């Protein structure tokens, strides 16, 4: 299902959840420093870059596109951390990936158009910063240590910064992992 709004198309899955994708962008494979961006609605607050999927777009492609638009970075897309469901105020289902940053643009779409900023945070500090404004985003980082290594699950290999193609690296991996933001454990489906 799709809903059209000015300048964007929102896509929903069969259960009525808005389809979203995001990346935890790291400086190195140590995954100890994460890049956050300023919120478009609350410029003094920080969020994980991500947004809605376009029609026919794969989750990994949407994640790469959103990070490029919102944070002005490109990199090596890693593992799928999970699919996070947020049910409280809006029904969102967000595919969250890891990404190791390999290129940082000086000016990017959201910095020019809306004055968005970006900043590196130690993971513990990022959790604290996100907890007050976007607790679901803090949950992404909390789940970081509970996920499998980068060789399992779906991976995405971008051919350039904007046109990814997806590849499943391990046919024995679960189709996806659902991480409810209401405190339940990881569930394989």
Query: Do 81 and 147 meet the contact criterion of CB atoms below 8 Å apart?
Result: yes
Q: Report how far residue 42's alpha carbon sits from residue 58's, in angstroms, rounded to the nearest whole number.
A: 29
| 69 has catalytic annotation | yes
Instruction: Phi first, then psi: give them for residue 94, nearest 5 degrees.
Output: -115, 125
Can you tell me the distance from the alpha carbon of 120 to that of 129, in angstroms, rounded to the nearest whole number?
12
C-alpha span between 166 and 176 (Å, rounded)? 14
CA torsion angle 170 172 174 175 (round to 10): 70
Residues 6+ apart with CB under 8 A from 85: 17, 91, 92, 93, 94, 178, 179, 180, 181
Catalytic one of 69, 70, 103, 139: 69
Residues 47, 70, 137, CA angle at the centre, nearest 5°? 20
Mapping DSSP to helix (H, G, I), strand (E, B) and coil, where does residue 87 land? Answer: coil
What are the residue numbers of the active site?
Answer: 69
């Amino acid at each position: 299902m799709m809903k059209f709004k000015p300048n964007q198309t929102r896509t929903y899955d069969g259960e009525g959840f808005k389809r979203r994708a995001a990346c935890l962008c790291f400086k190195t494979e140590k995954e100890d420093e994460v890049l956050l961006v300023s919120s478009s609605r609350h410029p003094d607050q920080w969020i994980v870059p991500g947004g809605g999927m376009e029609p026919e777009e794969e989750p990994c492609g949407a994640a790469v596109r959103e990070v490029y638009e919102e944070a002005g970075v490109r990199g090596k897309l890693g593992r799928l951390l999970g699919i996070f469901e947020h049910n409280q105020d809006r029904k969102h289902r967000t595919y969250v990936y890891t990404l190791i940053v390999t290129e940082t643009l000086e000016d990017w779409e959201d910095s020019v158009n809306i004055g968005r900023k970006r900043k590196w945070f130690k993971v513990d500090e990022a959790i604290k910063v996100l907890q007050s404004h976007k607790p679901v985003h803090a949950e992404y980082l909390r789940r970081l240590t509970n996920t499998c290594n980068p060789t399992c699950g779906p991976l995405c290999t971008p051919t350039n910064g904007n046109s990814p193609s997806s590849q499943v690296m391990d046919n024995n991996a679960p189709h996806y992992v659902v991480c409810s933001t209401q405190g339940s454990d990881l569930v394989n489906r």
